[in-house]
Structure 1
Amino acid sequence: MFSVKKKGAAFAAVALSVIPLATACGGGGDSNASAEDTTLVVASWGAYFTEATRQFLADPFTKETGIKVQIVDAPGKYAANLQAQKQANNVQWDLLDSTSAPDAYQMAHDGLIQQLPANLKTEFQSVLGQDAVTDFGFTFSNLGYIIACNKDKVTTCPDTQQAFFDPANPARRQMIATLPLLNLSLAEMASGVPAEEIPTHEIDMDRAFAKLKELKPLVKVWWESGDQMEQAFRNGEVDMGIAYSGRAFGLADNGTPLQVQWKGGVYNPGFWNVATGAPHSKAAFQFMEWIANHPEAQAKWAEKTKYSVPSPKAFDYMDDTFKKQLADWPDNRKQLTTLNYDWYVKNAQDVNRRWQEFLRG
């Protein structure tokens, strides 16, 4: 999704492109620095995403604690930059704002992001819920990869991947080009794997690619950004497709006759993380704790970005119509499966190679 961010872009792809590193303020740790002397450096996604984090999270946190927050933009480059900083023995970032799930699991595996302290993990689970917390962070900027249909072109919008992949339906489709794990998982569901098994399912790549190859003639757009996805619907290039939930509702709210199907979709989380070797780890975890315990700030952030947030209490601060368009709204969340990121980490090189061959073929 490259609206502001391309969530889930392959780890191997970002490793090829490194942006200049930011210069962090502060020293090599928390122990001898007062709050006023500490400046956390947060990597974020740029544009309105960075602005929302600054306005609703960073600035209020600084006002309460005195700990300053500097935000640097590194869209799609978290893994590459952290790896470069580590190799230079000069880690300059403290926090990562909404790391895409495949990258987060890969970076945790590679030791680039820290494990949560046990007491904080317990606290986060209590405040945000068990499903929102991993060993290395908590979810943030969450969305659904859903099926969206132009109601003027599609009589019955598919509510399963088996129906979406059915080549007997001549509707022109679009799918995302940058997330092989997502597409392979959708293909497995289309092949009969129950959605509830996908989070632990080991993908049969031969079967999944065969299913994708069968559908490929009907996929008219392989989109690489949220803007491109929206444009394809607005211009009438496609009749239905896999879309970001927030973007699809935005199109519908602005006159494009789209229907959104949560059923058959996939939940896609981002994660707040602390970098391994962060200059200010203690203050970084303090910032994460502040975010987790301020649902009203999460709600404002969500309304600005149109992404979902983990705190159940955040819904109390949202407009009734808006909150029901978010992936974490209970009625939506229960219809979405999740992906097997552990399997992806183990097979990423082969998956990414075969995916590029598929797109070129």
Structure 2
Amino acid sequence: MTSLSLMSCSNGGEATGGAGGSREDVSLVIASWGDPFTSATQEYLVDPFVEETGYDVTIVDAPGKYVASLEAQNQANNVEWDLLDSTSAPDAYIAYDKGLIQKMPDSVKERITEALPEDAVTDFGITWSILGYITACNADAVAACPQNTTELFDTAEFPGSRTSISTSPLVNLSLAEIASGVAPEDLTTHEIDLDRAFAKLEEFKAAGGTWWNSGDQYMQVMSTNETDMGVGYSGRAYAIAEDMTNLEIHWEEGLYNPGFWNVAEGSAHSEEAWEFIEWIATNPEAAANWGQALGYSVPNPESFDYIEPEIAETLADYPENREELANMNFEWYVTNYQEVNDRWQEFLRG
């Protein structure tokens, strides 16, 4: 456990969220992703929150292990975390389905929805660290670059090696359904036709190319010409474009992929944990500083007043980008999780 902030206030007082006891009795633990995530959360969110409240806040690194770790903590009857920083969307929906994260109190939700768009607030948290899965193409390597997801999956019209994320079946299946003719605006309630989607993905995979399992690997396979085009994180695509000047980036028919702030079920200080989430939701400048430091989008529209225009234009919630991105059907994924993941592993092995 890495303690990044242990600060208390000598004067007592009630917690804003309504918990009794003095503020120095409150100690929150946030699970995060490691640097640079952890440092940004510390500097731009935790430090100003601690200065206002006098709470103790500790950040621990647990990258990619939220669900498994919470299950282990619950089995041991020893929940160690209060808050989850940027839970991936599929994991957040699965964790809520498993009872590992809390339902947001109605009063908190009512106040937060006054600051954030309706689709940024769920029953279990707020969207955060948002990115787009978008199309990127090395224009020097091919005769013509695809301009959207449908064209990216058209391997005859747009030949060239392709890449996509190997660790997210829902992303790939959703894109394959768009390429098969499902309207992007319908995707959020669409039940994926697995046979059709996997058939489309087989065509995509047959074009060749290394599939990536981390943002660093995505940057590598694109920047070293291991692959000509493909699906990638929006922020990483723009980072590649800093050196690869002929990299084309297209948002059309891409996917909106939020993370979430959540409160762990069994937290000893859940009211104060929700207070922290409400503070984040209603402090657009703090959110902007966090997002600008990492290249991730944040949900408060007012945050864009504090973000440099050239950075804002690369973020998923920038209005022109957001309108191009489809929402995924995470509820469907939770219901069909086992079948989807079994078939996905078979697809990767094939």
TM score, norm. by length of structure 2: 0.93
Shift of 1:151: 2.0
Which residue, out of 195, 210, 213, partners 1:221? Answer: 210
Match of 2:137 in 1: 149
Match of 2:296 in 1: 307
Which residue, out of 47, 71, 75, partners 1:87? Answer: 75
- Quote the Cα distance in structure 2 between the aligned partners of 1:162 and 1:329: 22
1:181-221 CA distance string (max 9 Å, x none): 11111111111111111111101101111111122121311
Match of 2:337 in 1: 348
Check 1:81–1:158 CA distance in 2 against 1; reply closer, same or farther (3 A cut): same
Shift of 1:167: 2.2
Check 1:219–1:264 CA distance in 2 against 1; reply closer, same or farther (3 A cut): farther
Letter in 2 for 1:274: V
Match of 2:161 in 1: 172
1:116 paired with 2:116, answer: no
Match of 1:13 in 2: none
| Match runs of 1:256-335 below 5 Å | 256-335=245-324
| Match runs of 1:169-208 below 5 Å | 169-208=158-197
- Quote the Cα distance in structure 2 between the aligned partners of 1:99 and 1:269: 9
- Quote the Cα distance in structure 2 between the aligned partners of 1:70 and 1:129: 29
1:257-316 CA distance string (max 9 Å, x none): 211101010000000000111011011011111111111111110111111101101100
- Quote the Cα distance in structure 2 between the aligned partners of 1:257 and 1:38: 52
Match of 1:53 in 2: 41
Check 1:198–1:219 CA distance in 2 against 1; reply closer, same or farther (3 A cut): farther
- Quote the Cα distance in structure 2 between the aligned partners of 1:156 and 1:197: 29
Runs of 4+ deviating beyond 6 Å: none
- Quote the Cα distance in structure 2 between the aligned partners of 1:155 and 1:322: 29
Check 1:313–1:235 CA distance in 2 against 1; reply closer, same or farther (3 A cut): same
Shift of 1:37: 2.3
1:160 paired with 2:148, answer: yes
For residue 164 of structure 2, give the secondary structure of its aligned residue in structure 1. Answer: strand
Q: Pick which of 312-321 and 154-163 moved more.
A: 154-163
Letter in 2 for 1:69: V
Shift of 1:155: 4.3
Match of 1:7 in 2: none
1:308-336 CA distance string (max 9 Å, x none): 10110110011111011100011100100
Shift of 1:32: 5.0
* Aligned residues with identical type, % of pairs: 55
Shift of 1:234: 1.1
For residue 247 of structure 1, give the secondary structure of its aligned residue in structure 2. Answer: helix
- Quote the Cα distance in structure 2 between the aligned partners of 1:157 and 1:121: 43
Letter in 1 for 2:341: N
TM score, norm. by length of structure 1: 0.90
For residue 92 of structure 1, give the secondary structure of its aligned residue in structure 2. Answer: coil
Match of 2:50 in 1: 62
- Quote the Cα distance in structure 2 between the aligned partners of 1:70 and 1:172: 45
1:105 paired with 2:102, answer: no
Q: Pick which of 230-239 and 32-41 moved more.
A: 32-41
Q: Is the 8 A contact 2:2 2:61 kept in 1?
A: no
| Match runs of 1:21-32 below 5 Å | 31-32=19-20
- Quote the Cα distance in structure 1 between the aligned partners of 2:285 and 2:208: 41
Letter in 2 for 1:267: Y
Shift of 1:153: 2.1
1:230 paired with 2:219, answer: yes
Q: Is the 8 A contact 1:180 1:352 kept in 2?
A: yes
Shift of 1:256: 4.4
1:13-45 CA distance string (max 9 Å, x none): xxxxxxx999xx99xxx8454212211000000
Q: Is the 8 A contact 1:175 1:219 kept in 2?
A: no
| Match runs of 1:11-22 below 5 Å | none
Q: Pick which of 40-49 and 208-217 moved more.
A: 208-217
Check 1:340–1:21 CA distance in 2 against 1; reply closer, same or farther (3 A cut): farther
What is the count of residue pairs matched by the alignment?
Answer: 338
Letter in 2 for 1:314: S
Letter in 2 for 1:91: V
1:226-254 CA distance string (max 9 Å, x none): 11000111111111110110111111123
Letter in 2 for 1:110: K
Check 1:233–1:323 CA distance in 2 against 1; reply closer, same or farther (3 A cut): same
- Quote the Cα distance in structure 2 between the aligned partners of 1:242 and 1:54: 31
What root-mean-square deviation, in Å, do the aligned CA atoms of Structure 1 and Structure 2 show? 1.8
- Quote the Cα distance in structure 1 between the aligned partners of 2:287 and 2:19: 29
Q: Which runs of 5+ in 2 are unaligned?
A: 9-17
Letter in 1 for 2:150: Q
| Match runs of 1:246-265 below 5 Å | 246-265=235-254
Shift of 1:160: 2.9
Match of 1:71 in 2: 59
Q: Is the 8 A contact 2:2 2:59 kept in 1?
A: no
- Quote the Cα distance in structure 2 between the aligned partners of 1:274 and 1:33: 20
- Quote the Cα distance in structure 2 between the aligned partners of 1:55 and 1:196: 37
Match of 1:357 in 2: 346
